[in-house]
Amino acid sequence: MSTQPVALVTGSSRGIGRGIALALGALGWRVVVNYAGNRQAADECVALVAAAGGQAIAVQGDVGEAGDRHRLVAESVAWGGRIDLLVNNAGVAPAVRADVLDAGEESFDRLIRINLKGPYFLTQAVAKVMIGQAPDVSGSRGQIITVSSISAYTASVNRGDYCVSKAGLGMLTKVFAARLADHGIRVYEIRPGVILTDMTGPVKAKYDALIADGLTPIKRWGDPADIGRAVAAIASGDLPFSTGEVINVDGGFHLHTL
């Protein structure tokens, strides 16, 4: 049986999650590629992880559904024997961007369910698995990374539901970091900036112009591989004295300049 570490990456069939899965594959990790409905994209990602030097399986599951979350954890452990890294990446944008004065409860409930409640309770479930695992030589039992967004602190008046769901992930990171440190489990938040994926495809022209106008000090779109590299650094154990930490991977968007 392989002794290579095991990662569960939610929403890794496409976009940022795929970039993360490929970066872990290049480190030789075993990766559980979770997806919601796009089996073909998940299978493609599994093959790409193998080509990069790792191993992978695809596991369908809606992170917003309790039953799916429990099955996802059980299938990950059945396949890998353990979970060394959870990456809460799966997330959705509102189907329609609506003014915060008009936006409805249905969209709010959907975004909170998938973007916030899902990662919160998946973290709880995976933390219990990690607590039961033997520590490595450094005392580490596992690591947890949550992909939030610059929307965790940037107000967009036409997608308040998305911003609120991402802001909640900041506190998720803090409470689990505080609770799990004694168990040798470190918890991080990665805040991507504007990254070119299917999610941002519909607003590409708008962001092309904003980036050219200086939206970010580093004047380019982010790539899923940029997030993959940050995850790989954490996965490699390069931040052993940090937990509850926010890592901005945003081309400098978060800077206030004068």
Interaction of residue 173 with ligand NAP, rule CB under 6 A: no
Binding string to ligand NAP for residues 56 to 75, with x set by CB under 6 A, is what?
Answer: ------xxx-----------
> Considering only residues 172, 177, 194, 235, which one is a binding residue for ligand NAP as defined by CB under 6 A?
194
> Considering only residues 7, 21, 49, 92, which one is a binding residue for ligand NAP as defined by CB under 6 A?
92
Which of the residues 100 through 129 are near ligand NAP (CB under 6 A)? 114
Token code pair at residue 185: 């489990």
Q: What is the C-alpha to C-alpha distance for residues 195 and 227, in angstroms, rounded to an integer?
A: 9
The residues, any chain, with a CB within 8 Å of residue 16's CB and separated by 6 or more, are 89, 147, 192, 195, 197, 224, 227
CB of 62 to ligand NAP, least distance (A): 4
Instruction: Single out the residue of 172, 165, 166 nearest to residue 145, CA to CA.
Output: 172
CB of 117 to ligand NAP, least distance (A): 11
Which residues share a beta bridge with 31?
7, 56
* Set 35, 162, 188, 207: catalytic member: 162
Token code pair at residue 11: 């929403």
Q: Which is nearer to ligand NAP, 9 or 185 (CB)?
A: 9
Following DSSP, what letter does each residue of 48-110 receive, concatenated? HHHHHT-EEEEEE--TTSHHHHHHHHHHHHHHHSS-SEEEE------SS---TTT--HHHHHH
Concerning whether 162 is annotated as a catalytic residue, the answer is: yes
Cα dist from 133 to 10, 144, 206, 251, whole Å: 21, 14, 47, 37
CB of 16 to ligand NAP, least distance (A): 4
> Considering only residues 6, 9, 16, 185, which one is a binding residue for ligand NAP as defined by CB under 6 A?
16
Binding string to ligand NAP for residues 32 to 51, with x set by CB under 6 A, is what?
Answer: --xxxxx--x----------
Q: What is the gyration radius of the CA atoms in the chain, in angstroms?
A: 18
Interaction of residue 87 with ligand NAP, rule CB under 6 A: no
Interaction of residue 147 with ligand NAP, rule CB under 6 A: yes
> Considering only residues 6, 7, 9, 17, which one is a binding residue for ligand NAP as defined by CB under 6 A?
17
> Considering only residues 199, 215, 225, 246, which one is a binding residue for ligand NAP as defined by CB under 6 A?
199
Three-class secondary structure of residue 190 per DSSP: strand
Contact 114, 64 (CB under 8 A): yes
CB of 151 to ligand NAP, least distance (A): 7
Catalytic residues: 162
Applying CB under 6 A, the residues found at the interface with ligand NAP are 10-17, 34-38, 41, 62-64, 89-92, 114, 147, 149, 192, 194-195, 197-200
